[in-house]
Chains A and B, each alone.
Chain A
Amino acid sequence: MALQVKCATSFFFKVVNVAKVIVVTSGKGGVGKTTTSASFSTGLAMRGNRTVVIDFDVGLRNLDLIMGCERRVVYDIINVINGEASLNQALIKDKNCDNLYVLPASQTRDKEALKLEGVGKILDELKESFDFIVCDSPAGIESGAFNAMYYADEALVVTNPEVSSVRDSDRILGILAAKSKRAVDGAEPVKEHLLVTRYDPKRVNSGEMLSVADIQEILRIPLLGVIPESQMVLQASNSGTPAIHLEKSDVAEAYRDVVGRFMGEALPMRFTTEKAGFFKRLLGGN
């Protein structure tokens, strides 16, 4: 079955020859962009798509840690832009998935070394050998975030259920709609997806956090998925394994649903309501 999917998708992309650039962005920091980039790119690759995930967080490299490949980083994106290494030298093959590669960020260089033109060149080169290019954006709305989003065809806007995060996502959506390459060229707009992460239905019910409906009411873009808050995310990143690989975990299932929906499957939303606790179940309440 897995094989069948693989053949079908790679066949499709060879014929139509459209590599997609997807930015994972948020404005606000620490909302789960890198966690999402790692799991989303892994999920795409597990379905047979040739996928590369790029860390744009120059100076604060951590995608490689979450992907568990930090010891294999020799060259980074800035070496490639400066012509000090080829893409092939810099790309790191993922330890779990055959179709997945990581292009790490530099830990030592300063951010100014990353220029829009250089990024464009790298993406064009990557488009020749990959189906999906996932860009893990740094926080903020400065040049780093702009570099990551400028060439995007689609955007996963990662939002936590709190007002400041929603506000920043709104700002990022405004920038995508006005300043991305697609906007500047007057092309079809960047396709926007809302991804609500660190969702805690209990705290939503108690009014401490915004609900998915509240967030959608403000941002008004299609919802791609809801990732529940889970202790296991930290465990996964400590062990250098993307959360989507976790066994028997809501987070992993939620990320798999996200990838499924992204690939066009109609899957119902899960993990948006409070789990019935042990005593509640025992007492038959709901």
Chain B
Amino acid sequence: MNSEAPVFKIKTGHLPVLLLHVLTTDLELLKAQLALRLRQTPDFFASTPIVLELTAIADSAGAPDFSGLVAFMREHGMCASGVTGGSEDQRAAAVKSGLGLYPDAQIRIAMRRSTDGQGDASGEHRAAVATTATSPPEAAVLQVQPELPGLSGESASVAPVQPEISRDAAHPAAQERAVVRPTLVIDKPVRTGQSIYAEGANLVLLAIANAGSELIADGDIHVYAPLRGKAIAGAHGNQSARIFVNRLEAELLSIAGCFKVFEDGLPEAVRGKPAQIHLEGNRLVMQPLLD
């Protein structure tokens, strides 16, 4: 290989990540409870990267023993990659233990099951996973990029972060991104294991989204073919986001974190039909599209 040819690239990526919310600085207690949980599903975390979410302990004095926690997690197949939230001291302690710092972001309300959803146990379990895996921190787009100077050509459109509002304040409307990004149009099938994210934009898919695939948009999602995978619209909390599909066969639908799973199939009225999905309060409404 030519030694002058570039052999690496630095790019920003948006990957779903699991958050472990740390609710105590007492490591022994934390380990004990984690161990109990992991015994039930020993292979659940197969080398999954995990971010430690420290917001709940930010006001506690001192920091957990991160080195001990990381070692314990590693034994159970969880790779702690960094922390988010937490006090200055805690973040400093995390860095000392070799952890990375994710931008300090107030965590958005968790994904919640649509109020008329079925509440079976396995569904709840999935809910817990879906929560952390697919609901990024509120305003992550606003806050992530300024901490990666020079890595993204898009930082011009990002409002600067004022540190004092970064923890508890509700973000005022003025902070919403001012620039509307162009719709992301995909004309190839989205297949099992693939995930598409339209960041700050609508997503239009002109081909199938098969079972085991994932469509995520901060705006609306349109699928002009069968939708068989998961569709997550309004991923940053836009409650007026909608999903439009040509043929509804989805595994999961979510708008602004309010979701439904369809382990036992979709309701007759919309199954396999053109449909639209929107939010009414806490309820995900699925309607056939009439012509």
A residues with a Cβ closer than 8 A to B are 167-168, 170-171, 173-175, 177-178, 218, 220
Contact = CB atoms under 8 A, between A and B. Distances in A.
Nearest to B226: A217
The main secondary structure of chain B at its interface with chain A is loop
Nearest to B211: A167
B263 to A, nearest CB: 15
Question: A171, A174, A175: which has the most chain B beta carbons within 10 Å?
Answer: A174
B83 interface: no
A177 B192 contact: no
Interface in B179-221: 188-194, 207-208, 210-213
Contacts of B189: 173-174, 177, 220
A167 B24 CA distance: 42
A168 B212 CA distance: 10
Contacts of A218: 208, 210, 228
Contacts of A177: 188-189, 191
Contacts of B228: 218
Given A167-B212, A220-B189, A174 B194 contact: yes
Interface of B: 188-194, 207-208, 210-213, 228
Nearest to A178: B194
A153 to B, nearest CB: 18
Closest 7 CB pairs of A and B: A174-B191, A171-B192, A170-B192, A174-B194, A170-B191, A171-B193, A170-B210
Contacts of A173: 189, 191
A11 B210 CA distance: 42
Contacts of A175: 193
A174 B193 contact: yes
**Most chain B C-beta atoms within 10 Å of own C-beta, residue among A168, A170, A177, A218:** A170
Contacts of B191: 170-171, 173-174, 177
B230 to A, nearest CB: 15
B5 to A, nearest CB: 13
Contacts of A170: 191-192, 210-212
